[in-house]
Amino acid sequence: MQYKKPMMIGGALAVMAMMPPVWASEPIQPITPVKSINLGMVELGKKLFFDPRLSKSGFISCNSCHNLSMGGTDNLKTSIGHNWNQGPISAPTVLNSSLNLAQFWDGRAKDLKEQAGGPIANPGEMGFTHELAVEVLQSIPGYVAEYTLVFGTEKIGIDGVTEAIAEFEKTLVTPNSRFDQWLLGDENAINGTELAGYKLFKASGCVACHNGSAVGGSTYQKMGVVAPYQTTSKIEGRIGVTGKDADRFKFKVPTLRNVELTYPYFHDGGAATLKEAVDIMGRIQLGKQFTDEEKVKIVAFLKTLTGDQPSFNLPILPPSSDKTPQPKPFS
């Protein structure tokens, strides 16, 4: 019978080709890598993303809190900023952040470029100013040369700096998760428990907010729909942007892509484990008390959302020159 196998497979493939893809009928779509990208700008942005000279101290880079070795976050409840300042909120992952409807938990930045300027000038984060950061970069011949190649001018501006960082960040998508392989038709990519978890995820209503290719990131929702969220955090979310009372405690729904790597969870980092996060979400958003078995299944499903992590050489940064202003970590 061996000679017939190829024909059978061929026949099966022919049938599959006529069928709509799995994901077409699912609320979650596969990640697609970015389609139009400026590679020179990406290389410049990658260096800037890793460069602590964008901070007053010379110690904190974008990668400090959005650590690409650790799922694009710092895995801390709230971040550490200039002078060991305790940040008010948990750093969201930079992975797949290009898929978000807006940036920051409250959506106050319309895109990655606008976001990138925020932490540099935040006294509690990188503690610098846009003007001083640009002055530092302008004093570094390697950056001036690369900036000139990319932007056609040797006069560095914060606009180009944040645009380059954003262009790099657009490359930080994580395709090829086991769940995406399943969505693309590989039935064996996830096991029975994981599939049961996905079905539960859909049937329980999680998918109402966590959908699309980012499995989230596309709407603002109230944290605590059915019951109030217990937290000591004073952060009120979207109301800070809109001023509308209805937006109190509304936050951008976080992506669940790579959620296995992005602990602790929620805007206050209040849930240490996925199991705890699923339990809390069930109770306060859906009015459901998941059983232990249900939580195990949903968590198993969530872990299938870990995709290929960004893969690139550690960037080597151009050295400062004799004219570069010194970092000021202790003043």
- Find residue 85's DSSP bridge partners: 81
Number of neighbours of residue 61 by Cβ within 10 angstroms? 21
CA–CA dist 22, 283 (Å, integer): 30
Q: Which is nearer to a second copy, 30 or 81 (CB)?
A: 81
Of 146-154, 184-192, 240-248, 304-312, the window that binds a second copy (rule: CB under 8 A) is: 304-312
Nearer to a second copy, 106 or 268 (CB): 268
315 contacts a second copy (rule: CB under 8 A): yes
Q: Which of 42, 48, 51, 189 binds a second copy (CB under 8 A)?
A: 51
Residues in the chain: 331
Give the orientation angle of helix 158-170 with respect to helix 112-121, to 10 degrees: 120
The C-alpha atoms of residue 80 and residue 69 are separated, in whole angstroms, by: 17
Question: Which of 74, 125, 146, 247 forms a contact with a second copy (CB under 8 A)?
Answer: 74
Q: Which of 28, 13, 16 is nearest to 177 (CA)?
A: 28
Min CB(86)–a second copy separation in Å: 5
> Can you tell me the distance from the alpha carbon of 207 to that of 216, in angstroms, rounded to the nearest whole number?
9
Q: Are 100 and 263 in contact (CB under 8 A)?
A: no
- Check: CB of residue 214 under 8 Å from CB of residue 174: no
Using the rule CB under 8 A, is 32 a contact of a second copy?
no
For position 123 contacting a second copy by CB under 8 A, the verdict is: no
Binding mask 239-278 for a second copy (x = CB under 8 A): ---------------------xx-xx-------xxxx---
DSSP 219-237: -EEES-SSSPPP-S----B
How many residues sit close enough to a second copy to count as binding (CB under 8 A)? Answer: 45
Catalytic residue IDs: 125
Residue 86 engages a second copy in binding (rule: CB under 8 A): yes
Identify which range of 145-153, 202-210, 281-289, 307-315 contacts a second copy by CB under 8 A: 307-315
Least distance (Å) from a second copy to the CB of residue 246?
A: 33
Examine residue 132 and tell whether it contacts a second copy (CB under 8 A): no
Closer Cβ to a second copy, 75 or 231, answer by number: 75
Helical ranges in 245-291 per DSSP H: 274-286
